[in-house]
Homo-oligomer: A and B are copies of this chain.
Amino acid sequence: MSKVFLDISMSLDGFIAGTNDTPEQPLGDGGTDIQAWLFNGEQPSDYNEFFKLSSVNKKIFDTTISNTGAMVVGRNTFDIVNGWNGSHPIQGVPIFVVTHQAPAHYLEEQTSFTFVTDGVKNAVQQAKKAAKGKDISIGTANIAQQCMKAGLLDEIHLHVSPILLGKGTRLFDHLGAGSIKLESLQVIDGATVTHLMYKLIY
């Protein structure tokens, strides 16, 4: 059974990007520190750095990659990273982009992205089909929030970076009152990052 999991790096104070996130600096002011653990302090576009991760962090990274059969992301992130220039740099899996309106030029030129205009529930459903038994990775904050509200998210895999950013885009926002209980699955000290895995109990 495919699990739907949020997999995201976050500053200790809860931000997944700094202010002023633009295509020129997708992670915003100071935001590269949030994902620095993935890049050994190098620039976030240097994907060769993935192969230099410490064994603890590499194991977590590799496990995520091998378990993921499809991704669901939001349109805002998709635009900010300029559609990853055609295909996701890490995941060679189908990606479902939740949006109000599909960008016409992508529909013709791209095959790795599917634009879903009828909501997050349908995006997750389509992703599950495409994942062929593997898990669905939710990669953006807004979609994760929608999934939590709709009871669609099974697990949270947080990579907490040792930084207080002060300001930016919060991962846990707009959820409104009403608790969701969690069960801690794993706590892993990755030295440059702390991995916290939870199961959501609705």
Contact of A172 among B14, B162, B176 (CB under 8 A): B14
Binary contact readout A160-193 vs B (1 if CB under 8 angstroms, 0 otherwise): 1011111100111001111111111001110110
Contact of A166 among B167, B170, B176 (CB under 8 A): B176
Binary contact readout A1-23 vs B (1 if CB under 8 angstroms, 0 otherwise): 00000000000111000110000
Q: Does A196 contact B (CB under 8 A)?
A: yes
With contact pairs A12-B196, A14-B14, A187-B189 given, residues A177 and B167 touching in the complex (Cβ less than 8 Å): yes
Q: Does A30 contact B (CB under 8 A)?
A: yes
A selection of 14 A-B contacts at a CB cut-off of 8 Å is A12-B156, A12-B182, A13-B14, A13-B175, A30-B178, A148-B164, A162-B198, A164-B179, A164-B182, A167-B178, A184-B189, A184-B194, A187-B194, A194-B196
- The answer on a CB contact under 8 Å between A166 and B160 is no
Contacting residues, chain B, for A135 (C-beta < 8 A): none
- The answer on a CB contact under 8 Å between A180 and B194 is no
Which residue of B is nearest A148, CB measured? Answer: B164
Q: How many residues of A contact B (CB 8 A)?
A: 40
Q: Which of A171, A178, A184 has the most CB of B within 10 A?
A: A184
Q: How far is the CA of A120 from the CA of B193 in the complex (A)?
A: 31
Which residue of B is nearest A15, CB measured? Answer: B172
Q: Does A29 contact B (CB under 8 A)?
A: yes
Contacting residues, chain B, for A177 (C-beta < 8 A): 18-19, 29-30, 166-167
